[in-house]
Amino acid sequence: MSPEVGEELTVYLHDMQIGVVERRGPKRYRFRYNDEVRSRHETGAIVLSVSLPVREDEFPPAAARPFFDGLLPEGVVRSSLAHSLKASEEDGFALLKALGADCAGAVAVLPKGESPQTGEGEIRPLSRTDLARLIEELPEHPLGIDGRATGIRLSLGGIQEKLVLVRSPNGEYGQPLDGAPSTCILKPEHERYPEIVANEAFGLRLAGSAGLDAARAEPTDIDGRPCLHVERFDRTIVGGGRIARVHQEDMCQALGIVPVDKYEASGGPSIAAIVQLLRDTGSPRAAVDILKVIEAALLNFLIGNSDAHGKNLALLYDPTGGVRLAPLYDLVSTQVYEGSEPALAMRIGSVEDPERVEMDAWRELGKTAGIGAQLPALIAEQTERILRCADALVATGKAEGWHRPVVDRIFALMQERARQLGHRARSS
């Protein structure tokens, strides 16, 4: 893939062309909206991203990169894909050209002359043997993209090994081809993080039972290997069973921050910045979503998720309800694994060390986020609710067969952290 300055990719939102990405160098590209978007929307309107409001001028590479690089995988996954595509891993344009046919949200980035696939796109059926092979080969072929599986053109952010698939009503899996919309993610157990399937299943179900909207997930087994099946909240089923995309962007994209800077210590989003962003959207449910961000931070603190960074919160552009906080995802207790980074990805107040987070830190957060004096009472009430739900969920996991010892370690950690906030621990 030789970099050609001036080469363009068409950017679609749903099935509408909205602009182009233009290569400006080996690792640089810029974005501009087309005339139709500029004529239909006022200057400053949010169409693709909060960080890319509608305007006449193009967005230079420094402004375009956070959103579009945010569509691509990170770390070793991105490196491996770039190697297989014979591209530089820093060449976001080349990676989007190859993989951008099905991205997070309702975005497709395609070579000129191509159109995005709809819910009637082609699906390659996978037998259980096929599925097990793809899972086994994920380290070499991230996202299930390998030389034998031509036609797989999809991208999803993050560093975790996963397959991006479609699951039919009868429970069979398939690979979407040529940009057909995917509907689910399959995350296998990882030898470096024992029992991570039960770990994440516990976190997501705990969020839901405690009153937070979270991605729907269920543990499953593929040829003896535990996996977590996660439904994509940026997909929905419409008339005739057709799959439709729902637009979304993570908080780094919305705030114009490149993925490599996703941690607050590196200049990434803070809780206060996300709260302000929600206020600035003008959404009628912004006040509710702001409290949900605080409750999500509390949940992550209690379960020991120190990796809750800006890319793990998102905005969902709900066609019926407007912009809102997306369901929570990637709720994993990192602190139950030896050698994990203890520092919080987003500080509570000014406190980065979770062992030093006490109620004063939440009071400080309340002031910096403009929430006010009611925050300590909210934290106390929600901590009690989360603990009660966790207690019940431990028993549910045992009854349903997905409980593992890691769940008990998470619950013990939750009790310790509740004590830091002055709460009496509960036992199962």
Q: Per-residue pLDDT tens for 51-100?
A: 999 999 999 999 999 999 999 999 999 999 998 888 999 999 999 999 99
Mean pLDDT, range 187-195, rounded to an integer: 94
Residue 248 has pLDDT above 60, yes or no: yes
List of residues 6+ apart from 273 with CB closer than 8 A: 255
Mean pLDDT, range 328-348, rounded to an integer: 95
* Active-site annotation holds for 307: yes
CA distance 203 to 189: 15
What is residue 51's predicted lDDT score, i.e. its pLDDT?
98
Residue 428 has pLDDT above 60, yes or no: no
Mean pLDDT, range 284-301, rounded to an integer: 95
What is residue 150's predicted lDDT score, i.e. its pLDDT?
63
What is residue 147's predicted lDDT score, i.e. its pLDDT?
55
What is residue 1's predicted lDDT score, i.e. its pLDDT?
43
What is residue 339's predicted lDDT score, i.e. its pLDDT?
87
Count Cβ atoms below 10 Å from residue 137 Cβ, excluding itself. Answer: 14
CATH 3.30.200 residue spans of the chain: 123-231
Reported as a pLDDT band with limits 50, 70 and 90, residue 313 is very high
In the chain, the percentage of residues whose pLDDT exceeds 90 is 83
Catalytic site residue from 307, 360, 391, 408: 307
Structure-block tokens of residue 164: 């991006």
The sheet carrying 247-250 orders its strands as 247-250, 314-318, 322-325
**Do residues 185 and 178 lie in contact, with contact meaning Cβ atoms separated by under 8 Å?**
no
Please, what is the average pLDDT of the chain?
93
Mean pLDDT, range 179-189, rounded to an integer: 95
Mean pLDDT, range 283-310, rounded to an integer: 95
Under CATH, what is the fold of the domain 249-420? 1.10.1070
Residue 295 is classified by DSSP as H
The structure's pTM equals 0.95
Yes or no: is domain 123-231 CATH 3.30.1490?
Answer: no
Q: pLDDT tens for residues 224-233?
A: 999 999 999 9
Reported as a pLDDT band with limits 50, 70 and 90, residue 322 is confident
CATH 1.10.1070 residue spans of the chain: 249-420
Q: Determine phi and psi for 2, rounding to 5 degrees.
A: -85, 130
Residue 25 has pLDDT above 80, yes or no: yes
The region of weakest confidence among 232-236, 369-373, 400-404 is 369-373
Residue 249 has pLDDT above 70, yes or no: yes
Residue 376 is classified by DSSP as H
